Amino acid sequence: MADSVTVPYLEERPDTGDAIRGPDSAVIGRVRLDSGVRLGGLVTIRADGHDVRIGPGCILLDRATVHVADNAYPANMGARVTLGRYALVHACNVADECVIGDAAVIMDDAEVGPGAVIAAGALVPPGKTVDGGWLHDGNPARPVRAIEPAERERLRAALIAGGGANSVCRSDLPPLDMAPYLPNRAGPGPRHEIDGQWPRIDGRSFTARTSLVAGDVLVGPDVSIWYGCVVRADGARITIGPRTNVQDNAILLADADRGPITIGADVTIGHNVQMGACIIEDEALIGMGAEMGDGVVVEPGALVGARALVASGTVVKAGHIWAGRPASAFRPVRPEERDFFLRGKDVYVNYTHNYLAEPAA
C-alpha cells in the first residue's frame, strides 16, 4: 500500500490532470480534477453514479472523502477550496474559496456559498443553503459570525498545517495513514493475517485496493468494503452480513479487550464512520461521519444520523432515528425513508458487482 489509485468505472476514466496525489489516494469514475489540485494520503474521490468536479487550486487533506448520490446529485467544489482531514463532501456544491474543517460533513444537495468556513466536526444537512462569508458550526451547522477574508486565510493556513487550537482543526482524529493498523510483517494488498487469523471474505464481495481488512473478519456475499476503510479484528471477530456496505474511510476496530463487532444483513455503514465493539442489526443505517462507542446496539431498521456521537452502551431502538452529539432519540423512521435507505443498499450491491468486474479496482 502506498501508490495512488486511478480506477475507471463503467469505462469512464478520471481526468486527474496535473494533480499531486498522496499515498493510497483513490480517484474513481467520472472525476475531473482541475489544475493545481493536491490530494493527501487516503483521499477518496468516487464518481461512480454521477460526476465529480474539483476546481483549480483545491486541497483535500488526508482521509477526506468526496462522493455522489447515484443518478441524483453530483459533487462540485469550486476554486481554491480546502477540505480538512477526515472530512466529507457528499453530492453537494461547495463554492470558491471555502474552508471545510476536519471531520466536517456536507450532505446531499447542500449549497455552500463562496468564502464560507465550516467548523471542524460540523454537519451541513441535506438541502441546506449555507451563506458565504460566514463561519458555520454545530450539528446541524448554523451561522456563528461573519468572517473576514484575512481571518479565513489564517484558518486555511492552520488547517493545511494541521495544528493549532482553532475552529477548523481537531486533535482527536483517527490515524491518517494505515501504518498503525498494519499487522507486523504485513505483505501487500488489503487482506492481512493477525496471529494466524486471516479474513474470510465471500467471493461475491468487493474489497477495495486501498482498504485494510485484517484478522478474524468474516464477510458474507454481496458485501462491499470501500476505499480507505479499516476493518481490523485482533482477538475478537468482526462479522459483516450479506449485502452490507462499509463506505469509504470508515474505521471498524475490534479486539480482545473491546469485544467483537457484529453487523447484520442489508446494513449501510456510511463514509468516515468510526466504530468500536457494536452490534448492528439487519437493515440499520449508520450515517456519514458517525462515531459509535463500544457496547452500542443498533436494533433492526434503526438509523443513526450523520455526525452522531453514540455513547458506549447505548441501545438505538428498532425503527427509530437517533441524532446529535451525544445522540438521543429523535423520531421514528418514516416508511418512505426506510424504503429509500433500502434502495440505497441495492445501489451498493450493484456497485459491488460492477467493481468486481473492474481489474483496476
- Model pLDDT for residues 180-210, shown as the tens digit of each residue: 999 987 777 799 999 999 999 999 999 999 9
* Structural domain contains residue 172: no
Backbone φ, ψ for residue 18 (5° rounding) = -100, 20
* Structural domain contains residue 198: yes
pLDDT at 345: 87
* Structural domain contains residue 68: yes
Determine the Cα angle at 158 with ends 157 and 160, to 5°. 65
Specify the amino acid at residue 322: W
- Residues 150 and 33 placed together within one structural domain of the fold: yes
Stretch 320-332: mean pLDDT: 92
- Residues 196 and 56 placed together within one structural domain of the fold: no
- Residues 330 and 211 placed together within one structural domain of the fold: yes
Residues 64 and 131: their CA atoms lie apart, in Å, by: 23
The three cell numbers locating residue 188: 501487500
Do 196 and 202 form a contact (C-beta atoms < 8 A)? no
Do 252 and 234 form a contact (C-beta atoms < 8 A)? no
Q: 63-84 pLDDT, tens per residue?
A: 999 999 999 999 999 999 999 9
Domain total in the chain: 2
Output the average pLDDT for the chain: 95
* Structural domain contains residue 350: yes
In percent, the amount of the chain with pLDDT more than 70 equals 99
* Structural domain contains residue 228: yes
* Structural domain contains residue 361: no
* Structural domain contains residue 166: no
Stretch 146-167: mean pLDDT: 92
- Residues 52 and 136 placed together within one structural domain of the fold: yes
Where does the pLDDT of residue 155 fall: very low under 50, low under 70, confident under 90, or very high at 90 and above? very high
Q: Which long-range contacts (CB under 8 A, 24 or more apart) does 150-153 make?
A: 152/97, 152/99, 152/115, 152/117
Domain edge (last residue) among 161, 194, 211: 161
In the chain, the N- to C-terminal Cα span, in Å, equals: 14
- Residues 101 and 232 placed together within one structural domain of the fold: no
In percent, the amount of the chain with pLDDT more than 90 equals 91
* pLDDT exceeds cutoff 60 at 1: no
pTM of the model: 0.96
pLDDT at 342: 80
* Structural domain contains residue 18: yes
Stretch 114-132: mean pLDDT: 97
- Residues 271 and 124 placed together within one structural domain of the fold: no
Q: 277-324 pLDDT, tens per residue?
A: 999 999 999 999 999 999 999 999 999 999 999 999 999 999 999 999
Do 93 and 110 form a contact (C-beta atoms < 8 A)? yes
- Residues 139 and 196 placed together within one structural domain of the fold: no
Stretch 164-175: mean pLDDT: 90
Do 258 and 294 form a contact (C-beta atoms < 8 A)? yes
Domain that holds residue 198: 183-356
- Residues 192 and 329 placed together within one structural domain of the fold: yes
- Residues 223 and 121 placed together within one structural domain of the fold: no
Give the position of cell 485494510: 212
> Residue 82 is part of a domain; what is its CATH number?
2.160.10.10
Specify the amino acid at residue 27: V
